[in-house]
Structure 1
């Protein structure tokens, strides 16, 4: 089995990942072998007696460690979607090994010196001006990564930086493990209480996942049941002293602050934003602060309306476990349809086919099933992606929540595109509630929006046309990476797509026009949603802008909410103890960067406005072709601000974002 995890991938499309050959008990051994091979390749580049040039240094570095990259993809699938005891046992060691390896490469003196020599030379030969510019950007970004890894530090500081990376990796794995365990805890209900459960949940265990808890909060008529469900979910990561993530989060904050100081930055937020479009944390915070007052005011008005509905039921004060329930009642009152009426027409099969249809209309892509693709679970399906008869990559879909699978949704890049070498492979991972055997999977509104969001990420990867995999979609600055995903959420309400693919599976009837209109109103961002998100992003930035982390994270979170004037009924969207974006991923992820969603939405709203201005609106093919050429295909080969200007002819305007969020547009 270990040989299978290290071997070249076989099959169509340049090889498919052997997901059925993952052997968690062999991870440590095979990773050590792959790391050793990669480091020998690195040493060979650094020791090359020939003068450095693009081919023998920068391009050669990109080709190093191909087996290690493949193995990392398999490990990420295992750690996030099949976390049994063996995976959990191996993960801390593997993550520490990888962190140490990344640090050794990033601090490799010979390799750094060779790259610096290359940067000091005249422009390298290239086929054209564009290729030369993009190669120069790759070299500049690579040297920047070396700086962030401590390549310019002394021996003592380098050793400390490596130790910090290893300790961080252990903390990430521990944080993730506790959340997975907590999300496996079951909500206890008496038989009489089960009668109020939404369809599909009444006769099954109720794990503490978003896919289970949110329908209960939205639909269960018993307030006591909603309160128990909310408290169980809100306590993830902080349920018991021996199963608490906060000590791990505190350690990560301390280590991040120390690392930032070693690298010459005032704070972790200064370090992370230095490599992003925002450039400084104050710039990102200024955008959030500009939006916050209007978002809070809108949320207050919406909560007042919900409180009035709750008073009709004898509830004097709206609580966090009431908000979703009365928002659903308010939606039914205002829009004439609730979550269940919409969900009837939003099936997984229908929306998947609708997404494939949209990708063909916009970008000429065709998706066909790969029936024999190896998979790690029966739920997983795979699709060949082609254009004009030529393959461009593969897409996997892992849609349902299950034990051992991390909550939420994301795209796992199984293979990055590289012109002349590799076709991209993306996996969309979701956590939709599993339907009854033989029944269609009906998606809640949030699930449907999320599916479209993740498909935007997948398209960004699949449409990549870059010379080097290090310039593909998932290597763009992190406050640009969410542009394609937030943008594609808008296609959920596209009328032609709904008419063809949003159908009641029992009758075959298409979603009625009035319900389609309701769907459009329902997916519009409310003040409550905007305030919840902005508060989480502001707390994240302020936490990581501190030179010294707070001693008490619970107190810090409460004080930050109070300073914002956060309404009591709105508890944290992501409590720090369960904030996996900040504490359960690699370094850096969304730490000091949860703001990236709104930063990217600033641009994506302007992209959608460009479609709206075109003759074909959201299905306008020329606009889609320009979008692919300027933004989606280039990855990080061009600076994102220049790429956006190439598409739109100007910098993004905040007006489209304000309108999309239902906030007042400020006059110039």
Structure 2
């Protein structure tokens, strides 16, 4: 069989890859990686930085590339065959990772180099790589006895399978739900564009009327605009019941098993909880520091949130004589109140945010700040016809910077949300440049109009593009420290920082134009966007903090005594609950960020990074939002450096000092609220 994954390749050969290619490709790449590890172990020369630490970082690169292709397809373009293969491959990859960290001869060489580190004259990046490698071995069982090493292998294999199972069930729950509406009067308030999309979907499924789903571009217009309260309740309850229906897709036991196994793993390695294990290598350093951070922000946010809730309650009572607000009322009445206070409506804004113009706008802004040019090339291979590919070059010299892929619209085989990934890491050896992708779930074009974005989708695009810049502008010696290979509570800084340009008149003028007339977004609307930026910021903060508390409630304790997922979640939410609890819904059973993704014990990092990004953007505001000198500092000290040094050191080089929480509180309008 002619297998493109078994041959050397630069760009991922998507069009040539068949599912049956992956199994032999993984076997071959695993064999190659084992040989590379064995060569390090059996090297007759004394252990050195180059022949052990550096060699270890470059080992398994081909395996990493195949893995990145396969697992992104499992997220962005999956099917039952890929999912079954993922269940088979994941335990093998986990076993291989264990083979490395539990190899006593390999660790002896790493430990030898580490013990001599003071005499080696290493530069800061080499010092960081050595520290990372040593700690990776120590934190993953290298010091355990034979029996405990076997226990660790068993736990890791089970976790690998359970996390995949969790995600597959959430995706299947999302895909199997179709809300078919045949009475047009029930659609009152829902925008025409959303109705048209729902009608197209119904037609494609052979149904009458309109079909709405749990994919965000379909779900959110119902929640924000449907006058039919029962319709909002119905779809909101379905959204909240994902993985919580006591059927074959139920995730309750999976959640309990994942939490228990993570705790057992942490205890085996000498840590009090999974959160203690994770946070040892975070800027926050400890569960107490995270809880203190969450508590401080909650104290600042809760008074404002309660005032906002009272205002929203009074508004709903005045408008519709509604006595008690429920969770499925929040988005609807918030949107109506926002329209009343700021004369701002997403449906009025959307014609000014055509996807293509917004994409070119973010390219333009990146060009101004970082001297980049994006050249689309439809001859580059992609995994789906909707995926677009670009050569990224320096605007002044035309030198290659990266390849960039963009995948924008929901499909049955794509999980929800938005993310950035890498198909090829950057490293200076052989001048390798990165291949970076962003995957989103934005509103599709309709028969009558191109893809038009809500303002929230605009900020999402800028957010993911910030992650992409972190990958594309990487400039490190070692792939293990390149791009987004940073502490998890630092990784959101570039992404959240980029969102700030969405609120700036100078930036909006570059891309916010009516898709039919070319009219620039009126100044009055720009001002309303800026004025509304802090609308219900207290409630939004409390909601985000509640997810951080829930994460810590699962991972910052011994979970073995938890009898019921819902009861435990309810207790975690008690201090942040603003709306009546819904007994038939549960967030934990579809909380993919912490039970499938990499945010376990790290969800707080979104708020942590907001402190960093507010403080960093304040610097741009002081010097000019397109100030090249400030952008050069950001590129030189943060975007290009990856994880080569401690993130606080990198941030202080950029900003000249540590970040201040007051920048976030000021931007959110919470300084006054707390006083």
Bin for the TM-score computed over the shorter chain: over 0.9
1:154 counterpart = 2:145: yes
1:28 and 1:93 in contact (8 A); partners too? no
Structure 2, unmatched stretches of 5+, are: 202-210
Query: How far did 1:301 drift?
Result: 1.5
Structure 2 matches for 1:638-657, cutoff 5 A?
638-657=645-664
Q: Secondary structure at the match of 2:643?
A: coil
Q: Please name the residue that 1:368 is paired with.
A: 375
1:66 counterpart = 2:61: yes
Structure 2 matches for 1:316-355, cutoff 5 A?
316-355=323-362
Write out per-residue CA displacement over residues 63-113 of structure 1, whole angstroms, 9 at most, x where no aligned residue: 211220110111122110111111111111111111111111111212111
Q: Please name the residue that 2:171 is paired with.
A: 180
Structure 1, unmatched stretches of 5+, are: 10-14
Q: Please name the residue that 2:315 is paired with.
A: 309
Structure 1 residue corresponding to 2:107, chosen from 104, 112, 117: 112
Partner Cα distance (1:319, 1:325) in 2? 11
1:92 and 1:170 in contact (8 A); partners too? yes
Structure 2 matches for 1:184-583, cutoff 5 A?
184=175, 185-192=177-184, 193-194=186-187, 196-202=189-195, 203=199, 204=201, 205-311=211-317, 312-387=319-394, 388-421=397-430, 422-437=432-447, 439-524=449-534, 526-549=537-560, 550-568=562-580, 575-583=587-595
1:532 and 1:573 in contact (8 A); partners too? no
With 49-58 and 556-565 compared, the bigger mean Cα shift is at: 556-565
Write out per-residue CA displacement over residues 408-466 of structure 1, whole angstroms, 9 at most, x where no aligned residue: 00001111110133201110100012121473111112211111110100001111110
Query: How far did 1:543 drift?
Result: 2.2
Q: Secondary structure at the match of 2:497?
A: helix
Alpha-carbon spacing, 1:181–1:374, altered in 2? closer, same or farther (3 Å): same
Count of residue pairs the alignment pairs up: 654
1:19 counterpart = 2:14: yes
Write out per-residue CA displacement over residues 455-511 of structure 1, whole angstroms, 9 at most, x where no aligned residue: 100001111110001111221110101111111110112222211211111111110
1:124 and 1:132 in contact (8 A); partners too? no
Q: Please name the residue that 1:145 is paired with.
A: 136
Alpha-carbon spacing, 1:2–1:85, altered in 2? closer, same or farther (3 Å): farther
Partner Cα distance (1:573, 1:358) in 2? 42
Write out per-residue CA displacement over residues 607-654 of structure 1, whole angstroms, 9 at most, x where no aligned residue: 00111111xx21111100011111111111111011111111111111
Alpha-carbon spacing, 1:497–1:2, altered in 2? closer, same or farther (3 Å): farther
With 508-517 and 89-98 compared, the bigger mean Cα shift is at: 89-98
Partner Cα distance (1:211, 1:134) in 2? 43
2:304 and 2:673 in contact (8 A); partners too? no
Give the CA RMSD over aligned residues.
2.0
Q: Please name the residue that 2:31 is paired with.
A: 36
Query: How far did 1:573 drift?
Result: 12
Alpha-carbon spacing, 1:31–1:632, altered in 2? closer, same or farther (3 Å): same
2:353 and 2:515 in contact (8 A); partners too? no
With 540-549 and 24-33 compared, the bigger mean Cα shift is at: 24-33
Query: How far did 1:522 drift?
Result: 3.4
1:320 and 1:571 in contact (8 A); partners too? no
Q: Please name the residue that 1:8 is paired with.
A: 8
Partner Cα distance (1:66, 1:591) in 2? 26
Q: Please name the residue that 1:12 is paired with.
A: none
Q: Secondary structure at the match of 1:540?
A: helix
1:584 counterpart = 2:596: yes
Partner Cα distance (2:305, 2:236) in 1? 20
2:48 and 2:113 in contact (8 A); partners too? yes
Alpha-carbon spacing, 1:25–1:176, altered in 2? closer, same or farther (3 Å): farther
2:651 and 2:658 in contact (8 A); partners too? yes
Partner Cα distance (2:263, 2:618) in 1? 40
Partner Cα distance (1:25, 1:556) in 2? 43
Partner Cα distance (2:220, 2:276) in 1? 36
With 430-439 and 560-569 compared, the bigger mean Cα shift is at: 560-569
Q: Secondary structure at the match of 2:352?
A: coil
Structure 1 residue corresponding to 2:79, chosen from 59, 79, 84: 84
Partner Cα distance (1:337, 1:115) in 2? 59
Partner Cα distance (2:261, 2:81) in 1? 28
What TM-score results when the alignment is normalised by the length of structure 2? Answer: 0.93
Partner Cα distance (2:336, 2:351) in 1? 17
Query: How far did 1:402 drift?
Result: 0.8
Q: Secondary structure at the match of 1:618?
A: coil
With 444-453 and 15-24 compared, the bigger mean Cα shift is at: 15-24
Q: Please name the residue that 2:205 is paired with.
A: none
Q: Secondary structure at the match of 2:488?
A: coil
